[in-house]
């Protein structure tokens, strides 16, 4: 022990003790500097008690399908009783095996992180408890230059310890699983389960839970859709840890590791047959909630409050309509493309663009462009000109189906694809042509005309209306100078319809239009009898509903009810109010003729 008396040793020992004491003192002072808020305030108990996750509002169809969401963070919370045990076990085995014994921080893991991150310069992190990870998810991290890692770690330890004193372990685990990001703008295990496996987290299998838990280490690298090989390896590692820690038997773990990686990937944003409808529902919901406040006196927020909007749309019928349009238009598109090619129509179109000075050399440069075609949204090597031509010649169609008994909208297809073609043709105003004729004929029946009354079927020139000279679409009907009213409507004849317009009178027809809530008509030209009015599909479907509902019409509706995140009803659709437009006899006669 003579070296203890060595002056050099005493000198070095003194320096060492001073260094250790200084380090301890600095660490204590540094800790209290963070604790006191010098590096930013820490949440107090009241703020921690008020923690709540932002939750997406769900739009639900009448056949109980989630058809859309509104969110700033795509999250749907799940309750503790619906979380499968194997999901909780997989998480604990992989991320924090001492979760139920520590107080929010794990000393062993903390020292490992301290030496790796601070002393060795390894910033990969690791070692944080689930509670600390929860703190990071809820409050994020700030930049303090070289002090960022120690400051943020100390903050997380302090807040985690506070949360451990306020919440049970079960509450913390639930809060974590409802807040943790899974990539692809997904937050919470329920949303991730719906995306990757198209089912609730409550119905996950053990190997599926392992896939989701494996995602947490690196959302993109272990994404099962983008990197299935990496995901499979990570899943098997999670299953192995579950076996080693007693959550699975060795045999169970080995059996599950042999299973292939199976996904049922469902991204509503990429497959949105009800996109146009969901967009309109948002507008209507904002109107309905405009004057409502929550229990704290705040306005409801569709993107954060986790509301549920129950709609009238039937998803099965919606898909049939959308698929039917695409199938039919895809066939027609081939015919049109061939016809346009034969006529050199594209050359004429390009010449017109050049003449208008709308083309530049940059517009001819090809690049990868994401476009809609009849196979879906695909990426093609196209120039801007190619893209414009692609959409210019593309056929479009819309479908609206409503229940005439109560106005409930069953199907709303506003176009080919809401993502790439968001213009909603259901609400666009177009000349409705012969679809207007039944309105005129119904007005005639309301004014003592009968189906067997005769109308003139002769070509005339109306000098008082700019020498307007209507003709029948099919000239084979022009040999008869008069035709029965029912026959004229059955065959959609123009000349007799114009004759009926003058016999009924413009004002009586306008009265009918007013009852049907059509836009105000200013033009007094008789061509309105042939459908020169600009109406939307919503307006014309509502009008036709009167023929199917004993002459009564009602306003189209799309929302049955809206509830908050706890199920409290905020809005419920009232019984439909009807307006009598036509008599029962008139509606029956029009229906019989149109059949």
Task: Please provide the average confidence, as pLDDT, over all residues in the chain.
Answer: 88
- Sheet containing 181-183, strands listed edge to edge, beginning at the edge strand earlier in sequence: 74-75, 186-187, 181-183
Confidence of residue 124 (pLDDT cuts 50, 70, 90): low
Q: Is the pLDDT of residue 594 over 70?
A: yes
Q: Is residue 89 part of a domain?
A: yes
Structural domain tally of the chain?
1
Whole-number pLDDT of residue 521: 82
CA distance 108 to 99: 13
What is the SS3 string spanning 554-581?
A: CCCECEEEEECCCCCEEEECCCCCCEEC
Q: Is residue 212 part of a domain?
A: yes
Q: For residues 262-287, give the mean pLDDT.
A: 88
Tens-digit pLDDT profile for residues 34-45: 777 777 788 888
CA distance 226 to 231: 9
Q: For residues 114-143, give the mean pLDDT.
A: 73
Residue 484: in which H helix or E strand, if any?
A: strand 482-484
Domain that holds residue 166: 73-269
Range list of H helices, 180-263: 189-197, 206-215, 228-244, 250-257
CA distances from 423 to 33, 317, 418, 494 (A): 56, 22, 8, 32
Tens-digit pLDDT profile for residues 281-304: 999 999 999 999 888 888 999 999
CATH code, domain with 205:
1.10.3810.10
Q: For residues 570-592, give the mean pLDDT.
A: 93
Q: For residues 152-180, give the mean pLDDT.
A: 89
Tens-digit pLDDT profile for residues 489-498: 999 999 999 9
Range list of H helices, 245-314: 250-257, 275-289
Tens-digit pLDDT profile for residues 191-247: 999 999 999 999 999 999 999 999 999 999 999 999 999 999 999 999 999 999 999
Query: With 0-12 CB in 10 A as exposed, 13-18 as middle and 19+ as buried, what is 85?
Result: exposed
Tens-digit pLDDT profile for residues 371-396: 888 888 888 899 888 898 999 999 99
CB proximity list for 138: less than 8 A, separation 6 or greater? 51, 179
Q: Is residue 143 part of a domain?
A: yes
What is the SS3 string spanning 182-194?
A: EECCEECHHHHHH
Q: Check: CB of residue 313 under 8 Å from CB of residue 62.
A: yes
Q: What is the pTM of this model?
A: 0.81
Residue of 588, 514, 496, 593 lying closest to 548 (CA atoms): 588
Q: Is residue 129 part of a domain?
A: yes
Q: Is residue 120 part of a domain?
A: yes
Residue of 407, 449, 394 lying closest to 558 (CA atoms): 407
CA distances from 472 to 31, 460, 466, 491 (A): 90, 11, 19, 10
Q: Is residue 99 part of a domain?
A: yes
- Report the percentage of the chain scoring pLDDT > 70: 92
Tens-digit pLDDT profile for residues 320-371: 999 999 999 999 999 999 888 877 888 888 888 888 777 777 888 888 888 8
- Which residues lie across from 186 on neighbouring strands? 74, 183
Q: Is residue 395 part of a domain?
A: no
In this structure, the strands spanning 409-413 and 399-402 are antiparallel
CA distance 37 to 496: 85
Q: Check: CB of residue 374 under 8 Å from CB of residue 421.
A: no
Q: Mean pLDDT lowest for which of 7-11, 82-86, 184-188, 551-555?
A: 7-11
SS3 state of residue 61: coil
Q: Is residue 549 part of a domain?
A: no
């Amino acid at each position: 022990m003579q070296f203890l008396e060595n002056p050099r040793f005493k000198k070095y020992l003194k320096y060492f003790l001073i260094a250790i004491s200084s380090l301890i003192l600095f660490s204590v002072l540094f800790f209290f500097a963070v604790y006191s808020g010098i590096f930013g305030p820490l949440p107090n108990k009241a703020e921690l008690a008020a923690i709540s996750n932002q939750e997406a509002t769900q739009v639900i169809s009448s056949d109980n399908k989630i058809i859309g969401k509104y969110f700033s963070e795509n999250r749907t919370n799940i309750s503790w009783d619906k979380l499968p045990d194997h999901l909780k076990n997989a998480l604990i085995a992989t991320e924090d095996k001492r979760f139920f014994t520590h107080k929010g921080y794990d000393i062993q893991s903390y020292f490992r992180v301290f030496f790796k991150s601070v002393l060795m310069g390894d910033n990969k992190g690791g070692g944080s408890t689930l509670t600390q990870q929860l703190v990071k998810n809820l409050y994020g991290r700030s930049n303090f230059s070289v002090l960022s890692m120690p400051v943020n770690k100390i903050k997380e330890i302090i807040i985690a310890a506070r949360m451990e004193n306020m919440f049970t372990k079960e509450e913390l685990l639930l809060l974590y699983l409802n807040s943790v990001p899974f990539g692809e703008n997904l937050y919470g295990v329920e949303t991730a389960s719906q995306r990757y496996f198209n089912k609730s987290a409550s119905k996950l299998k053990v190997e599926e839970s392992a896939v989701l838990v494996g995602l947490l280490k690196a959302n993109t690298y272990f994404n099962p859709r983008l990197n299935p090989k990496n995901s499979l390896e990570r899943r098997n590692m999670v299953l192995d840890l579950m076996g080693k820690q007693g959550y699975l038997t060795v045999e169970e773990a080995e059996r599950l590791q042999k299973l292939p990686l199976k996904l049922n990937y469902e991204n509503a944003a990429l497959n949105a047959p009800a996109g146009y409808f969901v967009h309109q529902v948002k507008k209507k919901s904002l109107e309905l909630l405009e004057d409502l406040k929550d229990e704290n006196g705040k306005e409801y927020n569709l993107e954060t409050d986790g509301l549920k909007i129950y709609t009238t749309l039937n998803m099965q019928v919606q898909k049939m309509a959308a698929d039917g349009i695409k199938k039919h238009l895809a066939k027609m598109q081939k015919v049109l493309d061939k016809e346009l090619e034969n006529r050199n129509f594209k050359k004429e179109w390009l010449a017109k663009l050049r003449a208008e000075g709308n083309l530049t050399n940059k517009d001819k440069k090809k690049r990868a462009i994401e476009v809609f075609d009849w196979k879906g949204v695909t990426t093609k090597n196209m120039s801007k000109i190619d893209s414009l031509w692609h959409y210019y010649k593309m056929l479009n169609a819309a479908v609206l189906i409503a229940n005439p008994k109560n106005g409930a909208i069953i199907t709303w297809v506003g176009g080919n694809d809401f993502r790439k073609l968001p213009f909603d043709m259901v609400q666009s105003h177009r000349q409705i042509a012969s679809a207007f004729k039944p309105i005129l004929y119904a007005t005639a029946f309301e004014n003592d005309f009968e189906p067997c009354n005769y109308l003139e079927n002769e070509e005339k020139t109306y000098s008082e209306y700019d020498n307007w000279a209507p003709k029948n679409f099919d000239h084979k009907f022009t040999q008869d100078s008069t035709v029965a009213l029912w026959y004229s409507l059955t065959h959609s004849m123009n000349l007799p319809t114009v004759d009926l317009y003058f016999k009924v009178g413009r004002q009586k027809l306008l009265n009918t239009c007013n009852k049907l809530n059509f836009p105000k008509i200013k033009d007094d030209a008789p061509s309105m009898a042939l459908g020169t009015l600009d109406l939307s599909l919503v307006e014309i479907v509502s009008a036709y509903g009167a023929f199917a509902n004993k002459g009564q019409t009602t306003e189209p509706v799309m929302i049955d009810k809206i509830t908050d995140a706890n199920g409290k009803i905020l809005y419920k659709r009232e019984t439909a109010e009807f307006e009598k437009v036509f008599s029962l006899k008139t509606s029956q006669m029009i229906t019989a003729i149109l059949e």
